[in-house]
Every structure is written in structure tokens, then in C-alpha cells.
Chain A
Amino acid sequence: MQSIIHKMGANELFKRSFRLVAVVLMISVMLLSACSGGGGNASSDGGAKTKDGKKQLEFMFRGSTEEEAAYKKVIDQFEADHEDVEVKLNTIPADNYATKLKAAITGKKIPDVFYIAPGEVRAYANSKVLLDLTEHVENSDAINLDNMWEYGFDSFRYDGETQGAGSIYALPKDVGPFALGYNKTMLEKAGVPLPDKDKPMTWDEFIKAAQAVTKDTDGDGEIDQFGTGFNVNWVLQAFVWSNGGDWLDETQTKVTVDTPEFAEALQFFADQQNVYKVTPSIEDAQTLDTYQRWLRGQLAFFPVGPWDVATFDKELDFEYDLIPYPAGKTGEPATWIGTLGIAVSASTEYPDLATELAEYLSASEEGQKALVDAHVQIPNLKDMAAEWAADTSTTPANKQEFLDIVQDYGRALPANNTYNGEWYDYFFTNIQPVLDGDKTAAEYVKEVQPKMQEYLDNAIQLEKQSSGN
């Protein structure tokens, strides 16, 4: 008797809980498909339309407040020209941007217009996240390819095999030449002849100038003025390239850091600290420190990007100007150009409008003017840039150096054109002993090359797998 009743009870309980579980599961599945379904943008928050029936475009943005203000102006213009469209500017902190974007892509809620780095083009294009903009750009009245930097567009071209040619997957947001600046006031005071802006220094000349200013200026026994203080992550390229070395061979499938030219350049970089002693002491490799020192006028040579100019205008109480980086064996200066692209989602509901918005952001004269006035980038339009560079009344006087880098001798960062940057990061993660002088550059490059190659092979393998699908 007892056991029968127990059984009945259990049965009943089982039935009821089964029903409950079924209901819960069904609701979950429904909610889930509502979240991830639609395959489009903003579909879960009620379609890509605003309450008053306007078409809504989302632009995912990161950058400084100056940039945001400048882009707001462009967006206002765009909205004025398209009365039925509202642009939602979604500002993301820079350190979160990549994560947010990947999450948006994984969740299939891709913003209509967003930034991508050149290093992401291959993977994103292969995965069909990006809209092919080629046709639009070529037929557009608003974009005159001849009047925009080739580097900007080439960084986002991809033909399925190599980057730099083929379809355009993003419009350049900007090009960022990484020039070298020098503290004019300090060099003059120290009686060092000012470097020639048209002829790069040799490495020896550079060291001589740096040594001449490295000294104790207030007589307290501690050196408080230095030749330089470069961050290896961002400046080693200039030395390696101008010495004839590189990270990859032409096919971009072989890691070539183990060449003598490369090792020589890396050794020279480390020697600035350990042998020539023209940089702050061994423990002060942090950018923060050398950047602060440059701001305080304690360094003679320091890198300058267009994004620095606004800050330098405000903060520096000395004169500075731009010159080419000192040249190694090849006799030619070298440095890299950063860039960011404005891409359009392949799944946007309004491809034409989204593309047009990207066009406004990249190439509208008004927008470019606002950005240039904010002193945060060089103009994307060549004619405007030439005019901007010709004006030597604003600092730095030799703005032409920025344009020369973009047009003549700047290059892409090595990991821009590979599927991922793991191989490249490995090089810098383990470099500290060389900078500290505990390991020679020649030893180091021999040691890391195989591991880097392994990572690169892995990346190539992953790319093959993912694009084969």
C-alpha cells in the first residue's frame, strides 16, 4: 500500500516536473532564437528602425573625445542629407573595442559601420563579415581615389590570396605615419647642429648627437637629460627595415628575423641603452616614463605620430620638429604607418546607406577639416594634406615629413598582413633580456625564429582551414 502510493506520488511529481522542464526549455529556445536569430543588426531591439520610423544605422566607434566631436559633425551632416536616417554612435573604450566587436560578430549583431584594423581584414573577409565596397567606391562621386592615400586603401584590399590588392573591404579612417621628432631647444642649447630634415642621419651621427645631450644639467650627480628612450615595440621596425632586415620574407610565410641585418639592428637598439648609454636607465623601458620625460623636455629624440600633435601643442614648453629616422646600412630611412579602416557589415539591412556613411566618415571634406582642426590626424584628402603641410606656422613645422612617410617610405606593421599576430607578439614578449644586455641580439633572433615560424605556420594553417569552408 505504502509503496504504491509512493510510486504514484513520484510518478505524479515526475510528470509535473517534466512538464515544467519542457515549458522552460521551450521558452529558453524561443528567447535564444530571438537573440541570435535574424542574422542582422539590431533586430532584437525592435528592428533597425527608431521609434519615429527612421532607419537606424549603428556606427561602432572608438577614439579620443576630439575625434568623437569631429565625427559627430560629419554624422549631423549625413543625417541632414538623409532625413529618414538616424545614426547611432556607439562609443566603446579603446581597450574593449576588439572584444566588443568580436562578441557582436559571434552574436550576429554586427553594427552597420565599424572600425577594423588592417590585420583583421583577411579573417573577416574570409568569414564574410565585411561588405565588398569596391564597386561603390569606384563609382562614387564622393570618393576620388586619386586624391586619397593609396596606403590607406591598399591596407584594406584583399583578393582572397594576398592583402594589398583586389577588393576594397574598408575605407581608410586615417593613415598614421610614425615620424621621429627632436627637441630643437635642447639641441641648440647643447650646441649640437640641428639634424637635416631632408637627409637622414647615420646611426653614428645619431649616437653622437644623443651622447652630446646626455648629461646632468643641474649638477646633482644624476643624469637628467638623455638622447632618447625608444619603446622597442614601436621603434625597432625603423632600425630593422632601414638596415635591410625584416620580420617576414616577400611571401609572408617565412619568418626572417634571424638574418645578420636584423640582429645588427636589434643589437644597435639595445646598445643605445647598454653601450652608448643615451637612454634612461635599464629599468625604465616603460613608454609611460619616456613619454613623460619627452613631455618634460628631458629627451632629445622621440617618436611623434599625428595623434600626438594636439597634446604636444598644449604640453610642450620647448620647440620640436620632425625628421626622418636615422638610416642604417641601406641609407634609407624607414618607419611604419598605422591605419584603421571603416568597414560595413555584410549583413546590414541598409548596405547603400551604411556605405555612404562610411564614405562621409572617410572622405567628406567637412569631416576631414574638423579632424585636422582638432590636430589629431593628417587629412585623408591629398590636396587638403598638401595645403596643411605647407602651412609652417603651426607646429611641427616639417609636417611634410608625415606626408613623405605616407607617400614614400612608410610601411605596414609586420603582422598587418597575416591571419593573426601571435608570431609577431612572441618576438616582443620575450625580448627583455636582449634589452637588458643579458643576451646578444644574434643569439636571441636565432632562438626565437623557430618558435615564431611555428606560430606563423599555425596561423597559415588556420587561415587555410577557415577559408576553405
Chain B
Amino acid sequence: MGKQSTDVSINKPLGNKKPKKSKLYKKESRAALIFILSPVVGYLIFTLYPFLYSIYASFTTWNGLGFQEWNGLGNYVSLLTDDYFHKSLFNTLYMMIGIPIGLILSLLLAMGLNRRIPGTTTFRVIYYVPVISSLAAISVLWQWAYNGDYGLVNQFLGYLGIDGPNWLQNKNTVKPALVIMTIWKGLGMSMLLYLAALQSVPKMYYEAADLDGANAFQRFRHITWPMVKPVTFFLVITNIIGGAQMFTEINIMTPTGGPEYSSATVVFYIWQKAFTNLQMGYASAMSVVLGLIIFIVTLIQFRLNDKSSFEM
């Protein structure tokens, strides 16, 4: 390595004189610069600037209309004793139990649909439809499905002789109801990614395992699972980030945050504070805390993944 670079230096003209560059080189590098510039500028304006500004705003009493005054750590101190903030944090975490359930289901589905049986394409489409549908439309749909009187869910339960609750109006059932919906919504996406991962597993591994007399579970445990692990990792991270930002479903299905605030997520609470109660500064402080939490969780996951992954 060191030798190589000395070699290069011999070919380089000494002193401060720059090597003359061709016109084509200049032209292309200019074009490259413009290509690079557009996303970078976009990032600076639409991500970095708001990001930094919200950190600044979190130390102020900004009301979102113009008034803004330095408030030091005031917002953060209030967060410590804000019951609604704690409740919404808890709700957000609670609703993340849908993530492992959804992953297991989608892996099972993917494995099922990976077999050469007739009708797989149809099923793939069916499971993928919710993914491409608008979240708002889906929320309205499920709101009706969960309706206590005329809802599809309770009608179905009725056939089984179960008297279903009024899902979204009951503080004990509203969160599970939302979890079920998010699992259903996310299933297709995870399934598709798992399917792609499954199809890229070389057949020879399974053949070798067969020869060694491995049973189905062993094949799954030692071949399939490790091979799809990067996808699992990716899905866990994106799902956690997405789950922490859950908002649309809540806003549409339980516009007041549910009975006794039992379905309000952190982002819902942030939105309420910022846009209906004129406390943009306080909302910014919550966003910063939420951002930190997501950052830390993701960091931990990366560490864990590094530790347990192995080279194939």
C-alpha cells in the first residue's frame, strides 16, 4: 500500500502546479457537481434546516404564530411531569408489539408463497394490496370494520357466538385493534422482502443439509433464518422507526386520542400540542426527545446486529 502511493507520487508533477485537466473532465465534473448538489441542497433545506430549527425551537416558547421567547430547559422540565406525554409514549411502545407478530406472520407467509403451488401470484397480490392503498383510506375502512354496531369484525365474531366490544371506544381494546390493523397493513411489504430474500438462498445449501439428514426445522434454523437475517434486521429497524411515528391511523380512527387518551401516540400528541394548542416550542421538545429515543434504539440494534452476524 505504502509502496504504491510512493509510485504514484513519482508520476505526479512536483510542486504546486496542478495537472492540466481535459475539457471533458471539467465538463463532466461540473455536471456531476450539479447532480450531487440537488439532493444535498434539498437535504439541507428540507431536512437539516428544520431539524436544527426544531432543536432550537425546543428551548423556546414558540407558539407557531410568531411569538418566540427563550425558555431554556423549561419545556424539557415540563415533559418530566406531563402525564399525557408519558401515556402517549407508553401507547406508542405498546403498539410496537405488532412488529414481531407481523414479522413472524410475514416470514411464514413468504415461506408458504415461496413453494411451487398454484395460486401463489394471486395471494401475493392480495397480501400486497394493503401496502399500496392509502393509509387514510385504510383507516376509514377499518374504522367502519371496528364499529361496535355494524362493524364487519363484530359481525364475524357474532357468527362465532362472541359478542364483540365497541373496539375503538373502549380503552382496553382500542390499542389491540390498532395493532391488528397495522399488522395487516404491513404484512405485504415484509412478505415481499422476505420472499426476495428466500429466493436468493442458494438451493445447494438445502441439498447439502438434506444429505446430512437435517429435518425441516433444522433447515430453517440453520439455513433460512441466518440467510434472511439482514432483511429481518432491516425490517425491524424500519418498523420501529415507522411505529414511533404512527399518526395518521390515530388521527382518523380516534380523532380525540381515544377514550382516556388510550390510543394517542407521541406524534399525535406532538401534533395536537403544535397545531391545536399553540405550543410549537413544547412540541419541538417532544420531537427532539422522540428523535433521541429512535436514535438510541437504532444504535443498540446496529450493535446487536454486528455482534451476532457472521460472514457466510
Known A-B contacts A123-B278, A286-B147, A420-B276; A429 and B255 likewise in contact (beta carbons under 8 Å): no
A28 touches which one: B12, B45, B276 (CB < 8 A)?
B45
Q: Which of A270-311 contact B (CB under 8 A)?
A: 280, 283-286, 288-289, 292
Q: Which residues of B contact A430 (CB under 8 A)?
A: 260-261
In the complex, the answer to whether B171 meets A432 with C-beta atoms within 8 Å is yes
Q: Is the CB of A99 within 8 A of B41?
A: no
Residues of B within 8 A of A289 (CB): 147-150
Find the residue from B5, B37, B277 having the highest chain A CB count within 10 A: B277
Asked whether B206 is an interface residue with its Cβ less than 8 Å from the other chain, the reply is no
Interface 0/1 of B251-289, CB less than 8 Å to A: 110011101110000000001001111111000000000
Q: How far is the CB of A436 from chain B (nearest CB, A)?
A: 9
Answer whether residue B119 sits at the interface, using C-beta atoms and an 8 A cutoff. no
On whether A462 and B260 interact (CB within 8 A), knowing A1-B6, A105-B65, A469-B67, the answer reads no
Assess whether A283 is in contact with B41, with CB atoms less than 8 Å apart: no
Given the complex of chains A and B, what is the CA–CA distance between A465 and B150 in angstroms? 49
Q: Are B67 and A106 in contact (CB under 8 A)?
A: no
Contact of B66 among A5, A128, A285, A433 (CB under 8 A): A128
Minimal Cβ-Cβ distance residue in B for A429: B261
A28 and B65: CB pair below 8 A? Answer: no
Known: A2-B2, A24-B40, A284-B148. A102 touches B275 (CB 8 A): yes
- Please state if B278 and A420 are interface contacts (CB–CB under 8 Å): yes
Are B9's CB and A24's CB within 8 A? no
**Which of A31, A285, A419 makes the CB contact (< 8 A) with B278?**
A419
A260 proximal to B (CB < 8 A): no
Q: How many A-B residue pairs have CB under 8 A?
A: 118
Tell yes or no: A316 within 8 A of B by CB. Answer: no
Partner of B67, one of A35, A288, A432, A466: A466
Q: B61 interface residue, CB < 8 Å from A? A: yes
Binds A, one of B20-28, B162-170, B176-184, B193-201: B162-170
Closest to B33 in A: A20
Q: What separation, in Å, do the CA atoms of A31 and B278 have in the docked complex? A: 28
CB–CB B149/A462 < 8 A: no
B276 contact from A2, A129, A286, A421, Cβ within 8 A: A421
> Do A5 and B67 form a contact, CB below 8 Å, given A95-B252, A284-B166, A432-B259?
no
Bound-complex Cα distance A51 to B251 (A): 39
Cβ distance A170 to chain B, nearest Cβ, rounded Å: 15
A292 to B144 alpha-carbon distance, docked (Å)? 12
Does B126 sit at the interface, judged by CB under 8 A?
Answer: no
Q: Report B-chain residues with C-beta under 8 Å of the C-beta of A23.
A: 37
Kindly list chain A residues whose C-beta atoms are within 8 Å of the C-beta of B255: 95
Q: Are B37 and A27 in contact (CB under 8 A)?
A: yes
Least CB distance, A249 to chain B, in whole angstroms: 22
> Do B148 and A28 touch across chains, with their CB atoms under 8 A apart?
no
Residue of A nearest to B3 (CB): A2
B64 within 8 A of A: yes
Compute how far the CA of A255 lies from the CA of B203 in the bound complex, rounded to whole angstroms.
Answer: 72
Contacts of A465 in B (CB 8 A): 61, 67, 69
Q: Does B169 contact A285, Cβ atoms closer than 8 Å?
A: yes
Interface centre among A23, A35, A123, A419 (most CB of B within 10 A): A123
* Closest beta carbon of chain A to B207's beta carbon, Å: 51
Q: Is the CB of B44 within 8 A of A25?
A: yes
B149:A284 contact, CB within 8 angstroms: yes
Contact B256 A429 (CB under 8 A): yes
Q: Does A422 contact B (CB under 8 A)?
A: yes
User: Is B63's beta carbon under 8 Å from chain A?
Assistant: yes
B8-47 CB mask vs A (1 if < 8 Å, else 0) is: 0100100000000000000000000100010011001100
> Could you tell me if B278 and A283 are in contact, using CB atoms closer than 8 angstroms?
no
Which residue of B2, B166, B275 contacts A99 across the interface (Cβ within 8 Å)? B275
Interface residues of A in 1-16 (CB under 8 A from B): 1-2, 5-6
Contact of A462 among B41, B61, B169 (CB under 8 A): B61
B45 partner, pick from A5, A31, A459, beta carbons under 8 A: A31
Q: Do residues B260 and A429 form an inter-chain contact, with CB atoms below 8 A?
A: yes
A128 to B5, CA, bound (A): 65
Cβ–Cβ < 8 Å partners of B147 in chain A: 286, 288-289
Measured between beta carbons, the chain B residues less than 8 angstroms from A429 are: 256-257, 259-261
Q: Is A77 an interface residue (CB 8 A)?
A: no
Complex: A399 Cα to B63 Cα, angstroms = 42
- Flag if B61 contacts A283 (CB, 8 Å): no
Looking at the assembled complex, report how far the CB atom of A67 sits from the nearest CB atom of chain B, in whole angstroms: 21
* A residues 381-438 touching B (CB-CB < 8 Å): 419-422, 425, 428-430, 432-433
Cβ of B233 < 8 Å from any Cβ of A? no
In the complex, which residues of chain B have a beta carbon less than 8 angstroms from the beta carbon of A462? 61, 63, 278-279
- For B48, the closest partner residue in chain A by CB is A28
Give the chain A neighbours of B220 by CB distance below 8 A: none
Known contacts A25-B44, A462-B278; decide if A124 and B260 are in contact (CB<8 Å): no
- Interface readout for A107-129 with B: 1 if CB under 8 Å, 0 if not? 00000000000000001101111
Report the separation of the CA atoms of residues A371 and B150 in the bound assembly, to the nearest whole angstrom. 34
Q: How far does the alpha carbon of A458 sit from the alpha carbon of B148 in the complex, in Å? A: 37
- Minimum distance in angstroms from A258 CB to a CB of chain B: 19
Q: Which of B45, B150, B280 contacts A292 (CB 8 A)?
A: B150
**Which residues of the other chain, B, contact A128 by a CB distance below 8 angstroms?**
66
In the complex, chain A residues 55-101 whose Cβ is within 8 Å of any chain B Cβ? 95, 98-99
B49 within 8 A of A: yes
18 A-B residue pairings within 8 Å (CB atoms): A1-B6, A1-B9, A5-B12, A6-B5, A32-B49, A98-B275, A102-B274, A106-B280, A123-B63, A284-B166, A286-B147, A288-B147, A292-B150, A421-B276, A430-B260, A433-B260, A462-B63, A465-B69
Closest 4 CB pairs of A and B: A127-B65, A466-B67, A283-B166, A420-B277
Additional 10 contacts, C-beta under 8 A, given A5-B12, A430-B261: A2-B9, A32-B45, A95-B251, A102-B65, A127-B66, A283-B148, A289-B150, A428-B256, A462-B63, A466-B67
Chain B interface residues toward A at CB < 8 A: 2, 5-6, 9, 12, 33, 37, 40-41, 44-45, 49, 61, 63-67, 69, 147-150, 165-166, 168-171, 251-252, 255-257, 259-261, 271, 274-280
Interface residues of chain A, those whose CB is within 8 Å of chain B, are: 1-2, 5-6, 20, 23-25, 27-28, 31-32, 35, 95, 98-99, 102, 105-106, 123-124, 126-129, 280, 283-286, 288-289, 292, 419-422, 425, 428-430, 432-433, 459, 462, 465-466, 469
